[in-house]
Amino acid sequence: MPRHDIIVVGASAGGVEALSYIVKNLPPDLDAVVLIVLHIPSHGISVLPRILSRAGGLQAFHAKDGEQIFPQRIYVAPPDYHLLVKSGYLHLARGPRENSHRPAIDPLFRTAARVYGRRVVGVVLTGALDDGTAGLKAVKMRGGVAVVQDPENAMYNGMPRSAIENIDNIDYILPLSDIPDVLVTLVNTEVDCEEDLVSDEVEIESDLAQLDMKVLNSDKRPGKPSPFGCPDCGGTLWDLSEGHLLRFRCRTGHAFSAETLRAKQSESLEDALWVALRALEEKASLSHRMAERMRDRNQILSAERLEQDVQDAQEHAAVIRNVLLKGNSTGVEVNTTLASGDKEITDDSA
């Protein structure tokens, strides 16, 4: 009888510490494969396999495209690649970002559930925003087991809280200290061979993660058009909402949860405000130079009109500058949190 021998784990900010603890407390003869996505910058250098190999008895490696899956090993998604699961092997893809990340958690969870169904255990750990929720929901739809770190115990509670709020039938909500023992118990538990059907939505979204041209060119899309544009490519976002979970995906495959889309819109707003501030400062500077030249030529009325333009531009610029300095309306605090989570992954001293 098969067992729960496919463990997929997702983490973001604060994830290095949480992952190290779990790996430290897993036995070296664990009869399962552990697949991990930790949010990292696309152009960063990940030393997570080295950290995890030092932490426990299981050896950790960056996944390689086409690599065969073996138990008693940990495979980590490398920077700028989605880690996807095929039947018996791994696939790396530079497909569209999901929730503004590549690697993202949802594609790993979704493809593992698609192939291995009830054998999959999905684990969502500490992290900001809500990547992992849609993927964990796919795990549950295929009969797998959902494990979520207790938000009160997580360094950053966004991802665990999102999973709990949007998925009705979470199997385990646990403090970090209890997760390793539960995983060992699940690995030693036999699984019913009966398979739940793979939904069309999971099939399509799994293929989009690897830029499958057949799916990209197809007019068959899950969801319905929304009034929102994709922050990454400008295309129309399709509303994939189901139950409590509000999600969007564009034609080319960029995917966003509601919280991530809101954060991206805040980033776009901040960018637009900086552009507007620059344009107003340049207008004020140019108008001031022109006004001086007009006064030198004794063209007083023209100079006064230009000086009024200078004053108006500076007043408008001051309003925008105050908005940027406050930061709250542009999502600066959220972005800082994510950046701090990314920084620790590239730190060799971790």
What pLDDT digit, counting tens, does each position of 280-321 carry?
999 999 999 999 999 999 999 999 999 999 999 999 999 999
The angle formed by the CA atoms of residues 97, 40 and 226, to the nearest 5 degrees, is 25
5, 106, 131, 342: the active-site residue? 131
What span, in angstroms and rounded, lies between the C-alpha atoms of 223 and 127?
27
Type of residue numbered 20 = S
Listed as ranges, residues in the chain with pLDDT below 50 are: 329-350
Which class for 30: exposed (0-12), middle (13-18), buried (19 or more C-beta within 10 A)? Answer: buried
Tell me how crowded residue 340 is: count the other CB atoms within 10 A of its CB.
13
**Among candidate residues 255, 210, 243, the one with its CA nearest the CA of residue 111:** 210
The answer to whether residues 334 and 128 touch, using CB atoms and an 8 Å cutoff, is yes
Helix (H, G, I), strand (E, B) or coil at 143: coil
131 is catalytic: yes
39, 62, 82, 101: the active-site residue? 39
What span, in angstroms and rounded, lies between the C-alpha atoms of 334 and 247?
19
pLDDT, residue 207, reads 83
pLDDT, residue 202, reads 81
pLDDT, residue 101, reads 95
Question: Considering Cα of 157, then 206, then 266, then 46, what sign does the dihedral take?
Answer: positive
4, 5, 12, 207: the active-site residue? 12
**Among candidate residues 265, 258, 273, 275, the one with its CA nearest the CA of residue 326:** 273
Domain over 6-187 is classified CATH 3.40.50.180: yes
pLDDT, residue 342, reads 40
Q: What are the residue ranges spanned by the domains of the chain?
A: 6-187, 221-253, 260-345
* Phi-psi domain of 313 (left: phi exceeds 0; alpha: psi -120 through 50; beta: other): alpha
4 is catalytic: no
12 is catalytic: yes
